[in-house]
């Protein structure tokens, strides 16, 4: 009777300690979150979610497919191939696994193996449209002929074919190529100058695929070998290890939940491992004596690897199909907008459409500023030279003043500012932010049409001195391109946000033929106070040749401007752009040098 009472007591304790499962489930699983992050190009954030999945379900086909996709996006081809090879163990994902391996083979230049894998992927139930695009791309690399398949295609697949057909036609010097590439290169939503993330077709045999902009910062965090123990599947027998004479009961728990209480030697238990998800789990074994007192407790990690069950409900099947479709979408080949833009620019140039070609070259270099091939095309057209020395102001002897306005264009604020300046016949310089230009091209065009000068104030208004060389150049070039596309003109000056400067920033600014444009008077501190303070700050600090820094977007500045314009004109000042100040300064220096040279020549002649 005492033995039974002890057993009942242990069962009561066990039931009390078993955690109650939460009724609510999170709206998005780590897998779904990671897929979203990969699609948005947020690879470091995606890696965090993948790490969690690897710790819990390292053997899951979906986990390994996600890992392979992440490695492929970050340019780690060999690691990606290893992950996709592990996916082969999951029958329902075999087509995706073979396709992923094929992409790795294309990246490595092994086209024959890639073709074989693509054929197997199609026969294994893979997405025929996505696989067909990859097969067509291989034909293009081998200078074969491709055609648009019949039937409905997803937007991504259709865009890929448009690029393939366009590049094919242009290489044959056929005009249809221009139309195909224009369709493939339609601006992305809210990202006129960006390349979408994904696996990119470059149309170059020596480098057929680009699979990411940069490696993961800490790839080693994903190198998880998993549990070294043999994988458990089906019904398995668990044993308690050495059970001494004092042991009367043995309790087994997996992840804190009881799977059984055994009261007879040898205290083994048969457990159905498919009661838990595949992956790593905690197995806790507790030994008790006849009085219910704990004798010994051991814990170890076990690894469960059962065949992943087929979905049994319509909802489960639908969810799985959605997940699979997201993988296929992420791995659909996309055109490298950079190289397609260059090809289109070359074609337009050959047709005598020089200005259009120019814009496509700038679009392309905005995507990858470090690409020397495109930079050379731009140098041939623009003749970019090293920028002039930094401008802080003009000649001290001329009553000229340059009003400058940072951070525009801003709808609702730029229009009244332009109206005031135009009415006062006060040409000024607008240092624009590139993303604002992309969002407001018509408003940007109105600035130039009003006779104002547009200058570069970076694309996202970040501290340039804290960025990498690649990031600095993208900030500069994207803004140059955005302004060119909106106005047909390229900025001459660049003002770094906050005035933050470094040798790296200076090098990049000069590399793209820009002149650093700083200021003589900064009224920012007054702009946040009142219109009267803005007026006071300008009138107290202004001097001949001054460059006055104000902001396009401050109500106080807008209210102060009529007084500033009137007072400065009454003091005899003429309003000019920074470019005019620079030209006058250069002319004065040239005249001074000429005067010195002439004086020297006269002195030499007098001494003869």
**What DSSP letter does each residue of 35-102 carry, written as one string?**
HHHHHTT-HHHHHHHHHHHHHH-TT-HHHHHHHHHHHHHTT-HHHHHHHHHHHTTSGGGHHHHHHHHH
- Mean pLDDT for the stretch of residues 497-521: 96
What CA–CA distance (Å, rounded) separates 475 from 460?
Answer: 7
For the ranges 168-172, 192-196, 241-245, 376-380, which has the lowest average pLDDT?
192-196
Burial (Cβ within 10 Å: 0-12, 13-18, ≥19) of residue 7: middle
Tokens of 170: 């242009």
- Mean pLDDT for the stretch of residues 373-390: 87
Residue with tokens 């802080």: 392
Q: Are 429 and 577 in contact (CB under 8 A)?
A: yes
What CA–CA distance (Å, rounded) separates 127 from 150?
Answer: 15
pLDDT tens digits for range 273-300: 988 887 788 999 999 999 989 999 999 8
For the cut 60, the answer to whether the pLDDT of residue 120 exceeds it is yes
Domain boundary assignment for the chain: 30-222, 232-304, 336-382, 400-588
For the ranges 121-130, 181-190, 332-341, which has the lowest average pLDDT?
181-190
Tokens of 506: 């200076």
- State which fold the 400-588 domain adopts: TIM Barrel (3.20.20)
- Mean pLDDT for the stretch of residues 593-601: 82
The model's pTM is: 0.81
Residue with tokens 């400065």: 568
- Mean pLDDT for the stretch of residues 502-515: 95
For the cut 90, the answer to whether the pLDDT of residue 22 exceeds it is no
For the cut 60, the answer to whether the pLDDT of residue 304 exceeds it is yes
Q: Are 95 and 130 in contact (CB under 8 A)?
A: no
Q: Give the contacts of 408 (CB within 8 A, at least 6 positions apart).
A: 414, 417, 430, 432, 433, 436, 447, 552, 553
Higher confidence at residue 219 or residue 560? 560
Burial (Cβ within 10 Å: 0-12, 13-18, ≥19) of residue 240: buried
Neighbours of 577 (CB within 10 A): 23
Q: Is the peptide bond before 432 cis (omega within 30 degrees of 0)?
A: no
Burial (Cβ within 10 Å: 0-12, 13-18, ≥19) of residue 516: buried
Residue with tokens 């694309």: 459
**What DSSP letter does each residue of 356-420 carry, written as one string?**
HHHHHHHHHHHH-TT-HHHHHHHHHHH---PPPSPBSB--TTS-EEEEEEEEE--TTTHHHHHHH
pLDDT tens digits for range 40-86: 888 999 999 998 888 778 888 999 999 999 999 999 999 999 999 99
Q: Give the contacts of 85 (CB within 8 A, at least 6 positions apart).
A: 97, 101
Catalytic option among 59, 127, 406, 407: 406
State the first-to-last Cα distance of the chain, in angstroms, to the nearest integer: 135
Q: Are 431 and 407 in contact (CB under 8 A)?
A: yes
Residue 466 has what DSSP assignment?
A: G
Q: Annotated catalytic, 461?
A: no
CB burial of 36-54 (b: ≥16 within 10 Å; e: otherwise) equals ebbbebebeebbebbbebb
For the cut 70, the answer to whether the pLDDT of residue 1 exceeds it is no
Catalytic option among 281, 457, 492, 551: 551
What CA–CA distance (Å, rounded) separates 226 from 169?
Answer: 50
For the cut 70, the answer to whether the pLDDT of residue 311 exceeds it is yes
What CA–CA distance (Å, rounded) separates 252 from 262?
Answer: 8
Architecture of domain 30-222: Alpha Horseshoe (1.25)
Burial (Cβ within 10 Å: 0-12, 13-18, ≥19) of residue 428: buried
What CA–CA distance (Å, rounded) separates 58 from 533?
Answer: 64
Q: Annotated catalytic, 406?
A: yes
Map 128-171 to HEC letters. HHHHHHHHHHHHHHCCCCCCCCCCCCCHHHHHHHHHHHHHHHHH
Share of the chain above pLDDT 90, in %: 71
Confidence of residue 602 (pLDDT cuts 50, 70, 90): confident
Q: What are phi and psi of 129, to 5 degrees?
A: -65, -45
- Mean pLDDT for the stretch of residues 496-502: 97
Is it true that domain 232-304 has CATH number 2.60.40.10? yes
Tokens of 22: 């939460």
Confidence of residue 4 (pLDDT cuts 50, 70, 90): very low
**Residue 63 CA: distances (Å) to CA of 29, 84, 93, 444, 575:** 12, 10, 11, 47, 64
Across the chain, mean pLDDT equals 90
Q: Are 518 and 547 in contact (CB under 8 A)?
A: yes
Q: Are 96 and 65 in contact (CB under 8 A)?
A: yes
pLDDT value of position 348:
96
């Amino acid at each position: 009777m005492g033995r039974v009472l002890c057993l009942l007591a242990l069962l009561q304790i066990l039931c009390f300690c078993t955690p109650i499962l939460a009724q609510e489930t999170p709206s998005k699983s780590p897998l779904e979150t990671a897929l979203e992050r990969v699609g948005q190009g947020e690879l470091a954030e995606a890696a965090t979610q993948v790490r969690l999945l690897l710790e819990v379900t390292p053997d899951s086909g979906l986990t390994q497919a996600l890992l392979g996709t992440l490695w492929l996006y970050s340019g780690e081809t060999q690691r990606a191939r290893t992950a996709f090879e592990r996916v082969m163990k999951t029958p329902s994902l075999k087509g995706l696994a073979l396709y992923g391996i094929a992409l790795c083979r294309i990246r490595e230049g092994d086209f024959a193996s890639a073709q074989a894998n693509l054929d197997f992927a199609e026969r294994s139930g893979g997405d025929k449209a996505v696989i067909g695009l990859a097969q067509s791309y291989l034909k293009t690399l081998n200078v074969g002929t491709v055609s648009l398949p019949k039937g409905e295609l997803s937007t991504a697949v259709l865009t890929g074919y448009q690029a393939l057909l366009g590049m094919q036609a242009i290489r044959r010097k056929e005009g249809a190529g221009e139309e195909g590439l224009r369709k493939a290169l339609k601006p992305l939503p809210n990202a006129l100058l960006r390349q979408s993330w994904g696996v990119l077709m470059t149309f170059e045999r020596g480098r057929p695929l680009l699979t990411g902009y940069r490696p993961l910062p800490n790839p080693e965090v994903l190198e998880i070998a998993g549990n070294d123990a043999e994988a458990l599947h089906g019904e398995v027998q668990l044993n308690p290890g050495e059970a001494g004479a004092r042991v009367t009961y043995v309790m087994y728990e997996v992840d804190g939940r009881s799977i059984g209480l055994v009261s007879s030697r040898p205290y083994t238990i048969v457990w159905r491992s498919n009661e838990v998800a595949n992956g790593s789990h905690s197995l806790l074994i507790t030994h008790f004596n006849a009085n219910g007192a704990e004798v010994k407790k051991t814990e170890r990690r076990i690894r469960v690897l059962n065949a992943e069950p087929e979905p049994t409900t319509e909802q489960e099947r639908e969810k799985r199909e959605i997940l699979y479709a997201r993988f296929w979408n992420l791995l659909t080949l996309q055109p490298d907008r950079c190289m397609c833009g260059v090809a289109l620019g070359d074609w337009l140039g050959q047709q005598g459409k020089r200005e259009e070609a120019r814009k496509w070259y700038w679009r392309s270099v905005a995507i990858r500023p470090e690409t020397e091939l495109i930079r050379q095309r731009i140098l041939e057209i623009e003749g970019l030279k090293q920028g002039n020395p930094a401008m802080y102001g003009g000649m001290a002897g001329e009553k000229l003043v340059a009003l400058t306005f940072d951070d525009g264009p801003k709808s609702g604020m730029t229009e009244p500012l332009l109206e005031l300046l135009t009415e006062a016949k006060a040409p000024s310089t607008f240092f624009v932010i590139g993303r604002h230009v992309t969002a407001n091209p018509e408003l940007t065009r109105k600035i130039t049409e009003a006779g104002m000068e547009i200058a570069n104030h970076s694309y996202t208004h970040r501290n340039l001195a804290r960025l990498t060389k690649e990031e600095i150049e993208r900030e500069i070039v994207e803004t140059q391109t955005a302004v060119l596309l909106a106005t047909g003109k390229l900025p001459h000056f660049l003002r770094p946000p906050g005035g933050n400067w470094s040798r790296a920033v200076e090098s990049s600014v000069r590399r793209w033929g820009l002149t650093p444009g700083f200021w003589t008077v900064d009224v920012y501190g007054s702009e946040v106070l009142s219109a009267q303070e803005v007026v006071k700050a300008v009138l107290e600090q202004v001097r001949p040749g001054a460059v006055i820094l104000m902001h396009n977007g401050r109500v106080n500045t807008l209210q102060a401007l009529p007084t500033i314009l009137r007072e400065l004109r009454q003091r005899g000042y003429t309003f000019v752009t920074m470019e005019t100040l620079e030209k006058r300064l250069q002319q004065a220096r040239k005249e001074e040098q000429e005067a010195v040279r002439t004086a020297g020549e006269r002195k030499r002649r007098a001494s003869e």
